[in-house]
């Protein structure tokens, strides 16, 4: 198996076997760091960082230098022609004609996919907005494996900003893929987005139990336990567990506590005003005295701000600086594999818990666009060439997932391309949750984000939509 010429945009792009193979190569490189020079001689890496970075950028650049390759870099969007209105696709084509591989960090979700679609060379996503950060996840998984030998069956607690933390989103899927149980401790208001949860449940086969708040965890100074994801390989099934049993589960110990900072740069104005800082508990010596954390690895993708006290740096459970240092050999191995200067050797069987799902794709031009304001597909410079495209991940309720940023949403109205039989009077649109909508075959589905949009496309409201419109109009007049 070879990874040469492929891109890494989301953690789903790598199978468990490929990740294990990458880790084997990382071990070899980490054990003889100074002997790798020359592996990528003559290769050029473009390092494009349009959001701040210390670890990811400098570890990628260090990795390429250690492999004997060269680096070209742009670390300020204002110093590139993107600031003159150039599209990401045009930039990708040009940089792809200069460099052999591109590493990109960009604030727009799905930007790395666009670069991968147009560059013609391998592309590595170094963080696209709040979407994913797959190479950080490789560092995280590698660290857990080095410290605990296996990921399967471990209990990993995710702490803090689970809404905007891109490292969290990639890590959730990776942990599920390797059969870990996940405990969600979000800062209130910063819970894991619904579309991430939906994907986790549908595509990774485990069970998710949601909780309001557990008195015990609040008492211990933790964020409330919001939910537990239990892998299908887990001996206990959640259906049999009461809150009391979960408290017992917690007391058996958490294998790793993955702390994240509040991602303030992505907060909405409302969230910024919500005094989230005051309600963000600090992981400190006192908290780590709790029984659940006796043997817990304390991890953090860094940078930290106030959520992780400096006093725990000397604690042997704290491994976040080791985690960051491992970024260099991990990224050396990844660059060598994607550039095809090293081959993948996959140890053992690929025992992934992910269940690849072949969803129908919706790409009709019916005026529907991704509702995520940070999605690359709706940005002014990109709409000239990006055609919105969605996976139909559910029919009840109808749920679309943008192929760029992976946000999920439930559109309001649908119609069928084969029901009107040429008669304009029959060309009706329906509520997406109506019994008519459920009868429409996937290949005939036309989806609208508003009634006015459906009408602009020549469709008339069905009886139930008209009744709904009358009710809304009456309510407005009152
Ligand atoms: N963990 C991480 O992505 O750090 P940087 O933002 O410093 O690259």
Which tokens sit at 207? 């069970």
pLDDT of 271 reads: 82
CA of 176 to the centre of ligand 1 (A): 23
CA of 80 to the centre of ligand 1 (A): 22
Residue that is written with structure tokens 């198996």 in the block: 1
Best residue among 112, 127, 166 to mutate for probing ligand 1's pocket (most ligand atoms within 8 Å of CB) is 127
pLDDT of 352 reads: 79
| 3-state secondary structure at position 403 | coil
pLDDT of 218 reads: 47
List, in sequence order, every beta strand (DSSP E) within 211-301.
227-230, 256-259, 297-299
pLDDT of 53 reads: 98
pLDDT of 398 reads: 95
pLDDT of 177 reads: 95
Which tokens sit at 366? 């019916």
pLDDT of 239 reads: 46
| 3-state secondary structure at position 136 | helix
- Of all protein residues, the one whose alpha carbon is nearest to atom 6 of ligand 1 is 53
Write the pLDDT tens digit of every residue in 424-457: 667 899 999 999 888 899 899 999 999 999 999 9
Residues in the chain with pLDDT < 70?
Answer: 1, 212-222, 235-251, 275-278, 347-350, 419-425
* Alpha carbons 107 and 128: distance in angstroms, whole number: 5
| 3-state secondary structure at position 394 | strand
- Of all protein residues, the one whose alpha carbon is nearest to atom 4 of ligand 1 is 55
Write the pLDDT tens digit of every residue in 196-220: 999 999 999 889 988 765 444 545 5
Rounded to the nearest 10 degrees, how much is the dihedral formed by the CA atoms of 210, 184, 16, 296?
-130
Which tokens sit at 225? 């336990």
CA of 198 to the centre of ligand 1 (A): 27
Q: Are 262 and 159 in contact (CB under 8 A)?
A: no
The H or E element containing residue 85 is none
- Contact partners, residue 457, CB within 8 Å, separation at least 6: 366, 367, 415, 446, 448
**342-349 long-range contacts, CB within 8 A, separation 24+:** 342/25, 342/39, 343/2, 344/1, 344/2, 344/3, 344/18, 344/21, 344/22, 344/25, 345/21, 345/24, 345/25, 346/1, 346/17, 346/18, 346/20, 346/21, 347/20, 347/21, 347/24, 348/17, 348/20, 349/17
For residue 106, how far is the Cα from the chain centroid? 14
Which tokens sit at 224? 């409330």
- Residue among 407, 426, 406 nearest 416 (CA): 426
CA of 54 to the centre of ligand 1 (A): 6
pLDDT of 312 reads: 98
Best residue among 51, 55, 261, 308 to mutate for probing ligand 1's pocket (most ligand atoms within 8 Å of CB) is 55
pLDDT of 235 reads: 63
pLDDT of 241 reads: 52
pLDDT of 220 reads: 58
Alpha helices (H) along 267-380: 269-272, 285-288, 320-325, 327-338
Helices 194-204 & 166-177, crossing angle to 10 degrees? 10
- Contact partners, residue 181, CB within 8 Å, separation at least 6: 153, 154, 155, 156, 228, 229, 230, 231, 234
* Alpha carbons 75 and 53: distance in angstroms, whole number: 9
Q: What's the Cα-to-Cα distance from 13 to each of 4, 36, 170, 196, rounded to whole Å?
A: 13, 26, 11, 16
* Alpha carbons 72 and 87: distance in angstroms, whole number: 20
CA of 406 to the centre of ligand 1 (A): 22
């Amino acid at each position: 198996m070879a990874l040469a010429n492929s891109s890494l945009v989301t953690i789903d792009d790598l199978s468990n076997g490929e990740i294990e193979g990458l880790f084997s190569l990382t071990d070899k490189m980490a054990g003889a760091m100074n002997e790798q020079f020359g592996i990528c001689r003559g290769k050029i890496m473009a390092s494009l960082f349009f959001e701040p970075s210390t670890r990811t950028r400098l570890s990628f650049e260090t990795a390429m230098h250690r492999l004997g390759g060269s680096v070209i870099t742009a670390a300020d969007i204002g110093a590139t022609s993107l600031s003159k209105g150039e599209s990401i696709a045009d930039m990708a084509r040009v940089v792809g004609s200069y460099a052999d591989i591109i590493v990109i960090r960009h604030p727009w979700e799905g930007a790395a996919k666009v670069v991968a679609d147009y560059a013609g060379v391998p592309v590595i996503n170094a963080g696209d907005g709040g979407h994913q950060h797959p190479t950080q996840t490789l560092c995280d998984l590698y660290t857990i494996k080095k410290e605990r030998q296996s990921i399967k069956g471990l209990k990993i607690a995710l702490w803090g900003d689970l809404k905007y933390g891109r490292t969290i989103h990639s890590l959730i899927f990776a942990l599920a893929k390797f059969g870990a149980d996940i405990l969600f401790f979000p800062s209130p208001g910063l819970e894991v987005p619904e579309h991430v949860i939906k994907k986790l449940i549908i595509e990774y086969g485990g069970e998710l139990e949601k909780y309001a708040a557990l008195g015990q965890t609040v008492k211990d100074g933790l964020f409330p336990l919001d939910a537990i994801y239990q892998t299908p390989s887990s001996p206990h099934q959640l259906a049999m567990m009461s809150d009391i049993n979960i408290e017992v589960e917690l007391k058996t110990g958490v294998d790793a506590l993955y702390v994240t900072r509040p991602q303030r740069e992505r907060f909405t104005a409302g969230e910024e005003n919500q005094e989230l800082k005051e309600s963000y508990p600090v992981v400190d010596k006192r908290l780590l005295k709790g029984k659940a954390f006796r043997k817990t690895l304390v991890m953090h993708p860094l940078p930290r701000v106030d959520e992780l006290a400096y006093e725990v740096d000397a604690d042997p459970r704290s491994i976040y600086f080791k985690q960051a240092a491992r970024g260099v050999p991990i990224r050396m191995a990844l660059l060598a594999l994607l550039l095809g200067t090293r081959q993948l050797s996959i140890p053992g069987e690929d025992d992934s818990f992910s269940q690849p799902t072949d969803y129908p794709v919706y790409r009709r031009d019916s005026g529907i666009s991704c509702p995520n304001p940070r999605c690359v597909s709706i940005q002014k410079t990109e709409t000239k060439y990006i055609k919105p495209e969605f996976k139909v991940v559910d029919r009840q309720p109808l749920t679309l997932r943008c192929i760029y940023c992976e946000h999920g949403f439930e559109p309001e109205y649908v119609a069928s391309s084969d029901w009107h039989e040429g008669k304009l009077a029959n060309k009706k649109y329906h509520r997406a949750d109506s019994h008519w909508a459920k009868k429409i075959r996937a290949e005939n589905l036309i989806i609208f984000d508003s009634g006015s949009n459906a009408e602009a496309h020549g469709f008339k409201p069905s009886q139930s939509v008209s009744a709904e419109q009358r009710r809304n109009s009456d309510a407005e007049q009152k």
